[in-house]
Amino acid sequence: MEQPFKSADRYIVLRDICLPHEFTKKIQRINDMILMPLIALFMFFTSGDVFMVVSTGMSAYRAWVEWVEFTELSFLMQRMRLRMAQVRGPFISTNNPKYMPYVWADAVVRGKV
């Protein structure tokens, strides 16, 4: 955990992207990650549309990279919560659960001292 606050900030950003609250954004995310690449491959084999495959592939690749990074950061946040419990934290509080990763990061930083 080199930079806990930077990791917490990135986690909050990716959580809003990868786990949206709106139903339409969830469907759009599933579409970008799974359905459109399959449709693009089918279109490539039937009509040879290379540009659609490339553009869809790049958007699917970007979505999957964000998802993998989000998953890794989720495990890091879990380790930060456990570290907070080890150092008998939290030392600060927040009224908004969205910003709890900053509380965990603070406990990790204070636990190192």
Q: For 3-7, 8-12, 51-55, 59-63, which range has the lowest pLDDT when averaged over its residues?
A: 51-55
pLDDT tens, residue by residue, 19-37: 999 999 999 999 999 999 9
- Domain boundaries in the chain? 4-112
Give dist(CA 89, CA 7) in Å, integer.
19
SS3 content of the chain, % helix, strand, coil (to 5): 80, 0, 20
Give the integer Cα–Cα distance in Å for 12 and 100.
9
Res 112 pLDDT > 80:
no
Q: State the chain's mean pLDDT as an integer.
A: 93
Q: Residue range 58-81: average pLDDT?
A: 97
Residue 46, amino acid = T
